[in-house]
Structure 1
Amino acid sequence: MKWQHALKDYQLYLKIERGLSQNSIDSYALDIKKLICFLEENNIGLSPITISPEVVQGFIYETAKLVNARSQSRIISGLRSFFNYLVFEDYRTSNPLELIESPKIGRKLPDTLSMEEINQLIGEIDLAQETNGINIGERNRAILETLYGCGLRVSELINLKISDLFFDEGFIKVTGKGDKQRFVPIVPITQKYINIYKNEVRTHPKQKIQAGFEDTLFLNRRGKQLTRAMIFTIVKQLAEKAGFKKSISPHTFRHSFATHLLQNHADLRSIQLMLGHESITTTEIYVHLDKSHLTAVVEKYHPRK
């Protein structure tokens, strides 16, 4: 079996059997491609079936010189998953990463913004800003209000459809990782800014809408779906304008959404459902950000308080 053939089969497995998003599939594939490049550069003619633990260990050793512990751990995890697939399909009898341990890494707490910082960042938006006669200021405000107001991932935001908006019921339908759908409550203030954009900017005569994007909510000036990179650029420019020193990304709004809910005594299970976390252990990281929440719960509910 050749590497490219094995990689193609594995990507198909990730898509069909595990239901992963294209971004996740590409990330897994990148780890395997790095191993393939290592073999080619060192003239090591081993296939996915014959590669030994020693060769994989050599690749990881060289990779460790170039990346941090977190990236190294992710690469090891990706390769372990790939070879587990080959074992599952009976191409191999064992996984060459069985005895290879991932480096110890601390649990990184996400950066968050206070409510005042959220308001400050959104306040930096020039609501009169236009590009080719289209008001992108109002669009950008609606984008940031939606990121924060609904706790969305960037991929979920750019894929949001007009047909996903159920404002009368107070919800939006979000398509998350693995194409799993969930309904997320949307507050009136977020609805207000989306409606301003949708009804006044998106319908402007100068806003062209390309075929296939008629139902896409947030559009670029050419009438197509916004890219992830464009959302990152919008946030980065506003953070610089506001003079923020901390690292800010679109995901910071999602972390802030969850943290603020917890601080206002929302329960973890509800936050998990709104964020679309498959496991509540992922949601539990926000408890580490605000340990006062745990104290408040004990003081309020413990029978011997």
Structure 2
Amino acid sequence: MKHLPIINHTYQKLHNEFTRFITTKGYSRGKDVMYPTCIREFLFFIENKGVETIQNVDANTIQSYYYYISSRPNQRRAGGLSDSMLKTHLYSLRLFFDYLLDTDVLEYSPARLPKFTLKKSEQREILSNDQIRKLYTVCESYRDKALLSAAYGCGLRRSEMVNLDLEDVIFHKGIVIVRDSKNHKNRTIPMSDFVARHLKEYIVNERTKGLINNRKINNSFFVSNTGNRWRGNNMNDRLHYLV
């Protein structure tokens, strides 16, 4: 959705200014791209609905947009947008309209008027140790096993796996350092020999192989075929595939 075309020059300008604003606020990696992307989709939506100025956006417009994003297909996987992604879209709108208020583009924020009820999230299934070990038998690569080890063996959140760097895995001490975790404090996680073996096998046998056009690789623990930090959505898709 980050490449949706916006024809209205005023909307283009607002999007560019909002993107710069988000960048200066120093949001965490990923959020600085996600919020402007959500707003691009919103501006694309209202432009195609014939809303010619941002001042003409009202609560009904926001409501229509919410119905649109809650029913449109997910671009990365089967089904629709998750509750988490819907909340991100709504939060992006609030940030955007608060920005327009602060810069005197608007006198009030229509994004704060509607109330939305998200569908109840399905309860997550907790896997037993035997079930987790069986997952390793369906792995197709060293990276699959390392991903399972980080997620289930170390209990890392998706964002923590994305931000994990090579130096954060200290094999001779048998620990993983999680930086900038949910409570904004570093924490130390012990890893078993089983987990350490799979993490090390990924580094030795696969991490730097298969890169497209022999591209340079960064310091991320999990990397994509382009040598960049592996995206959280791709990690999530892979875990769902294995499970």
Q: Which residue of 2 aligns with 1:8?
A: 16
Native 8 Å contact 2:176 2:188 kept in 1:
yes
Could you list the per-position Cα deviations for residues 175-203 of structure 1 after superposition, in whole angstroms to 9, with x for gaps in the alignment? 5579x67333132322232223334x148
Q: Which residue of 2 aligns with 1:17?
A: 25
SS in 1 for 2:186: strand
Native 8 Å contact 1:149 1:186 kept in 2:
no
Question: How far, CA to CA, are the matches of 1:202 and 1:72 in structure 2?
Answer: 36
Question: How far, CA to CA, are the matches of 2:13 and 2:178 in structure 1?
Answer: 34
TM-score normalised by length of structure 2 = 0.69
Matched, 1:28 2:28: no
Question: How far, CA to CA, are the matches of 1:52 and 1:123 in structure 2?
Answer: 53
Q: Which residue of 2 aligns with 1:131?
A: none
User: Share of identical aligned residues, percent?
Assistant: 19
Runs of 5+ consecutive residues of structure 1 not aligned to the other structure = 127-135, 240-305
Q: Which residue of 2 aligns with 1:98?
A: 112
Native 8 Å contact 1:160 1:218 kept in 2:
yes
Asked which structure has the greater RCO (Cα within 8 Å, sep 6+), the reply is 1
**1:204-219 map, 5 Å:** 210=214, 212-213=216-217, 215-219=219-223
Q: Which residue of 2 aligns with 1:195?
A: 200
Q: How many residue pairs were aligned?
A: 223
**1:77-96 map, 5 Å:** 77-96=91-110
Native 8 Å contact 1:15 1:21 kept in 2:
no
Matched, 1:40 2:47: yes
Letter matched to residue 123 of structure 1: T
Q: Which residue of 2 aligns with 1:125?
A: 139
Question: How far, CA to CA, are the matches of 1:158 and 1:94 in structure 2?
Answer: 38
Q: Which residue of 1 aligns with 2:71?
A: 66
RMSD over aligned Cα, in angstroms?
3.8
Among 186, 203, 207, the residue aligned to 2:190 = 186
Structure 1 pair 207–105 and aligned structure 2 pair: CA distance change class (3 A):
closer
Structure 1 pair 208–97 and aligned structure 2 pair: CA distance change class (3 A):
closer
Native 8 Å contact 2:217 2:228 kept in 1:
yes
Question: How far, CA to CA, are the matches of 1:65 and 1:193 in structure 2?
Answer: 39
| Bigger CA radius of gyration | 1
Letter matched to residue 112 of structure 1: I
